[in-house]
Amino acid sequence: MMTDEEKLASPTWRLTNLYNIRTKYEGHQGEVVTFVPNKPQRKLFHAIESGHKRIIVLKGRKLGTTTACCLYLLDRAMYSPNQFCQTIAHRKQTV
């Protein structure tokens, strides 16, 4: 069993135990639940932890990628000193 210090030192533990989100699931909209990453979110976390500096996500909608990115950056900013976190979104202008 992990000690409290070991738990808080683990980004994986923090991301799957400390953060709550509001759901968008039909029939459960707005409910507050503990964040449990799905497969695409886990793959994103793995890519980040593997040391990739730039990750371009070509994605479908409703995979929770934005939620995962924001939670990861929040966690990183809170638990790692001297962090600069930024998200960039591109929206094609309509002509």
Write the pLDDT tens digit of every residue in 11-53.
Answer: 989 999 999 999 887 888 889 999 999 998 999 889 988 988 8
Compute the distance between CA of residue 72 and CA of residue 19 in angstroms, rounded to an integer. 10
How does DSSP classify residue 22? E
Count other C-beta atoms under 10 Å from residue 82's C-beta: 4
- The region, left, alpha or beta by phi > 0 then psi within -120 to 50, assigned to residue 2 is beta
Q: pTM of the full predicted structure?
A: 0.77
For residue 34, CA distances in Å to 48, 49, 59, 76 come to 21, 22, 23, 18
For residue 94, pLDDT over 60 is answered with no
Residue 95 has pLDDT above 60, yes or no: no
